[in-house]
C-alpha cells in the first residue's frame, strides 16, 4: 500500500492538485435510485465533479438513462429498452425499489439528465447499446449546449466509440474494459494501446483491479492517453489508484470518498 506521503506528493505534482476528480456512478447511487434525476441531483448536492449515466436508444429513437437492457431489476416489470417506446418506459416506477421516498420516480431522458449538469461540471455518458445511437446522441449533445470539455462518451463497445469519432473527432471518448482473472492481464497494455489508437479514443477506464500498477499504466500517459477507474467506494482503494495514475475515481458515494480523501 502506498503511503499517505506518496499520495500527497502525487496530488501536488498533478493538475488535479488536492482535488481529484470524483465521478458519481449512476449518480449518488448509494443513497438514491441509480440513473434517476434524484440520484444525479443528489450527486451535485454532494459536490461531485461529474456524473456518469448509462444510455440506451428506444424503439422510437429516443435516448433514455438505464443501465440494463431491460427494466426488470429497477421496476419489477420487464420492458426491453430497444423494443419499447419512450411513452411505455416512462410509465414505470424505477425509484420505489430503492426506498418508498422515491416512489413514482421515472426513467429520465438524456436531455433531462444533461440539464442537471452545472457550469464547470462534467458528464460521463456511457453507451449501453450499439453504434446506432451515435447520430441521435451527437444531436442531443449539441442541443444540450454543454461545452466540449464537459462531455466524455464512454463504452465497453469499441465500435460505438469508433463511430462517434468517425462522425465527430472533437468529442472526448474513453474505452472501458475490465481484466480477465488469469495472469498476465488481459487485455494487455499492447492490446489496450492498439484499441485506443484504432478507434481514436482519448483514454482508457478500467475496473479498479488490484493487480494494476503504476508501471503497467505508465505507457498510457507516455502515449498521450488518460487513465480513469471505477467503481470505488473504499477510500484506501481510491488513494491507491490515485497514486498509480488514475485521473478520476468513479464511486457510488461521492461525498464519502471526497471527505475520506480530504481527511488525509
User: What is the per-residue pLDDT across 200-231, written as a single tens digit (0 to 9) for each?
Assistant: 999 999 999 999 999 999 999 999 999 999 99
CB count in 10 Å sphere of residue 190: 9
CATH number for the domain spanning 189: value is 3.20.20.190
Label residue 237 by pLDDT band (50, 70, 90): very high
Tell me if 248 sits within 8 A of 20, measured CB to CB: yes
Residue 68 lies in a domain: no
In a domain, 86, yes or no: no
pTM of structure: 0.93
Residue 152 lies in a domain: yes
The answer as to whether 111 is a domain residue is: no
Q: What is the mean pLDDT of residues 91-107?
A: 98
The whole-angstrom separation of Cα 163 and Cα 61 is: 17
| Helix (H) or strand (E) segment spanning residue 64 | strand 63-65
User: Structurally, how many domains does the chain consist of?
Assistant: 1
pLDDT at 19: 65
pLDDT in tens, 1-15: 344 444 444 443 444
pLDDT score for 18: 46
Average pLDDT over residues 235-249: 98
State the pLDDT at residue 255.
98
Q: Is position 202 within any domain?
A: yes
The angle, 0 to 180 degrees and rounded to 10, between the axes of the packed helices 235-243 and 4-12 is 50
Residue 254 CB coordination number (10 Å) = 29
Does residue 172 register a pLDDT over 50? yes
In a domain, 138, yes or no: yes
pLDDT tier at 263, thresholds 50, 70, 90: confident
The stretch 239-244 carries a mean pLDDT of 98
Of 156, 187, 189, residue with least CA distance to 173: 156
On whether residue 236 sits in a domain, the answer given is yes
pLDDT of 120 reads: 96
pLDDT in tens, 101-119: 999 999 999 999 999 999 9
Domain that holds residue 39: 4-61+118-262
Q: Can you tell me the mean pLDDT for 120-149?
A: 97
Tell me, what's the pLDDT at 12?
Answer: 39
Q: Which sign does the torsion angle of CA 251, 110, 57, 79 carry?
A: positive
In a domain, 14, yes or no: yes
Amino acid at each position: 500500500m502506498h503511503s499517505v506521503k506518496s499520495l500527497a506528493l502525487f496530488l501536488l505534482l498533478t493538475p488535479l492538485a488536492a482535488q481529484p476528480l470524483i465521478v458519481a456512478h449512476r449518480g449518488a447511487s448509494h443513497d438514491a435510485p441509480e440513473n434517476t434525476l434524484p440520484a444525479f441531483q443528489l450527486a451535485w448536492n454532494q459536490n461531485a465533479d461529474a456524473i456518469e449515466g448509462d444510455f440506451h436508444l428506444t424503439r422510437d429513437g429516443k435516448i433514455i438513462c438505464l443501465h440494463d437492457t431491460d427494466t426488470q431489476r429497477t421496476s419489477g416489470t420487464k420492458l426491453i429498452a430497444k423494443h419499447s417506446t419512450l411513452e411505455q418506459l416512462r410509465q414505470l416506477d424505477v425509484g420505489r425499489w430503492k426506498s418508498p421516498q422515491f416512489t413514482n420516480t421515472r426513467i429520465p431522458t438524456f436531455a433531462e439528465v444533461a440539464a442537471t449538469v452545472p457550469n464547470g461540471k462534467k458528464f460521463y455518458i456511457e453507451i449501453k447499446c450499439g453504434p446506432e445511437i451515435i447520430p441521435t446522441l451527437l444531436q442531443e449533445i449539441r442541443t444540450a449546449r454543454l461545452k466540449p470539455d464537459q462531455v466524455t462518451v464512454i463504452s465497453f463497445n469499441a465500435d460505438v466509440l469508433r463511430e462517434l469519432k468517425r462522425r465527430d473527432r472533437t468529442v472526448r471518448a474513453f474505452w472501458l474494459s475490465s481484466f480477465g482473472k488469469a495472469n498476465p492481464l488481459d487485455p494487455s497494455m499492447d492490446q489496450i494501446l492498439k484499441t485506443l489508437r484504432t478507434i481514436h479514443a482519448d483514454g482508457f477506464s478500467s475496473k479498479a483491479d488490484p493487480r494494476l500498477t503504476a508501471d503497467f499504466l505508465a505507457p498510457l500517459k507516455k502515449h498521450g492517453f488518460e487513465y480513469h477507474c471505477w467503481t470505488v467506494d473504499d477510500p484506501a482503494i481510491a488513494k491507491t489508484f490515485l497514486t498509480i495514475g488514475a485521473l478520476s475515481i468513479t464511486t457510488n458515494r461521492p461525498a464519502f470518498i471526497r471527505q475520506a480523501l480530504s481527511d488525509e
